[in-house]
Structure 1
Amino acid sequence: MTPRHPERRTERLRLRQWSEADLDALAEMDADPDVMRYIGDGSTGTRERTAAALGRVRAAWDERGHGLFAAEETATGELVGWVGLAVPAFLPEVMPAVEIGWRLRRRSWGRGYATEAAREVLAFAFGEAESESGSEAEADTRLERVVSICHVDNHASLRIMTKLGMTYDRTTRVPAHGQPVRVMALTREEYHSSA
């Protein structure tokens, strides 16, 4: 099967593949202590670490047929962050699993972008045709279940998970750094029954 690199659109966002030109904005986001507060152990990233992560993100699409989308504001072309699907290997107790997640630049917070983009990513995850741009559906993605994981104090992310229809799965700790996290989940059946 030929690897696919889809693009999706929402009312205000273009969810696209990554380019080298995205590195500056991504590195700025990863270096922001407010953005990284609830990510991993809370430490900020360096440009070098961000560049390496960007390479892994791009490779994930070829390996798995899904990954993290660059989220770009349609009106301005500005990168607001990312939203997408990843394998949460950092939390072995939930494996095998696919996680939906997001990270936005601080100046893009509070606009509903994460929820808007995550809804489109769920449609992609569960194999629904794209409604906004009319491009070809990625119908064989069709995951059966997705999880979302956030630090227990990250109330903004928890609100998004709840808006997406996700329900509580468990509270646990990440083995690598001991941070407490909440795991939420949504099955394809639950997604379709609530649509």
Structure 2
Amino acid sequence: MTFTPVLTTERLTLRPWQVEDAPAALDVYGHTEVTRWLSPEMDQVPDQAAMRLLLQQWTAESVRLPAPAGRWAIQRDSDGLVIGGAVLLPLPPGEEDLEIGWQLRPDAWGNGYAAETTHALASWAFSQDAHEVFAVVRPGNTRAAATVRNNGMHWVGETTKYFGIELQVFRLRMADLDSAAPASLQPPARD
């Protein structure tokens, strides 16, 4: 049995999902602006009961996943609000590539939270002997493509390998991580 560790950044805490997070999770996964970009595309979650069921499934799944894989709630430290979710999951069909991903409620977009989340997840993965992580982005999702590039991820190409749909693939290796840290995560410059 594995566990999902708590990860922290300057402004965020990434922690395991709890069923009690259903109202906040619905503020993320209840929006088609979020779910339409997921791979594979996820239907908009219709209500809190469905969200609670999905959180129960994710929690059970996370226990069975080998480290560093898992699912996290993204909690903003300034107000304790859950503003999104994050994943490190094996990609099908062979489950040999590790996908890094995040989903934020629309009113949290544009604040650098995705970059902080990506950096924290990648750091965790590399500390657990992962050699690389991948982001798969639907064509047209310019916001996600910009975020992964801002984290030092390199475009690999396009493929239908993972979910049978056309996806852009980006890769991050450990050597690329530190220089790509979001400004809020970089150490102060020395004189």
Fold conserved between structures, TM > 0.5: yes
> Kindly tell me: are residues 175 and 100 of structure 1, through their superposed partners in 2, closer, same or farther at Cα, counting changes over 3 Å?
closer
> Kindly tell me: are residues 192 and 111 of structure 1, through their superposed partners in 2, closer, same or farther at Cα, counting changes over 3 Å?
closer
Corresponding position of 2:129: 142
Q: CA RMSD for the aligned pairs?
A: 2.4
> Kindly tell me: are residues 174 and 38 of structure 1, through their superposed partners in 2, closer, same or farther at Cα, counting changes over 3 Å?
farther
> How many residues matched?
177
Q: Does 1:99 align with 2:99?
A: yes
Corresponding position of 2:25: 26
Separation of aligned partners in 1, 2:62 and 2:32:
28
Structure 1 letter corresponding to 2:90: V
- Deviation string 1:93-152 (CA, Å, 9 cap, x unpaired) is x7411100000011111111010111111111100xxxxxxxxxxxxx221111100101
Corresponding position of 2:74: 71
Instruction: Give the gaps of 5 or more residues in structure 2.
Output: 182-191
Q: Does 1:10 align with 2:9?
A: yes
Structure 2 letter corresponding to 1:24: P
Correspondence 1:160-179 to 2 at 5 A: 160-173=147-160, 179=165
Where 1:126 maps in the other structure, the secondary structure is helix
Q: Does 1:118 align with 2:118?
A: yes
- Give the deviation of 1:5 after TM superposition: 3.1
Corresponding position of 2:91: 88
- Give the deviation of 1:189 after TM superposition: 4.0
| Length-normalised TM-score, structure 1 | 0.79
Separation of aligned partners in 2, 1:41 and 1:174:
15
Separation of aligned partners in 2, 1:102 and 1:4:
19
Instruction: Give the gaps of 5 or more residues in structure 1.
Output: 128-140
Where 1:149 maps in the other structure, the secondary structure is strand
Where 2:59 maps in the other structure, the secondary structure is helix
- Give the deviation of 1:194 after TM superposition: 6.5
- Give the deviation of 1:11 after TM superposition: 1.0
> Kindly tell me: are residues 76 and 51 of structure 1, through their superposed partners in 2, closer, same or farther at Cα, counting changes over 3 Å?
same
Structure 1 letter corresponding to 2:57: R
Separation of aligned partners in 1, 2:109 and 2:91:
24
Separation of aligned partners in 1, 2:161 and 2:78:
38
Where 1:120 maps in the other structure, the secondary structure is helix
Corresponding position of 2:166: 180
> Kindly tell me: are residues 194 and 106 of structure 1, through their superposed partners in 2, closer, same or farther at Cα, counting changes over 3 Å?
closer
> Kindly tell me: are residues 15 and 194 of structure 1, through their superposed partners in 2, closer, same or farther at Cα, counting changes over 3 Å?
closer
Structure 1 letter corresponding to 2:88: L
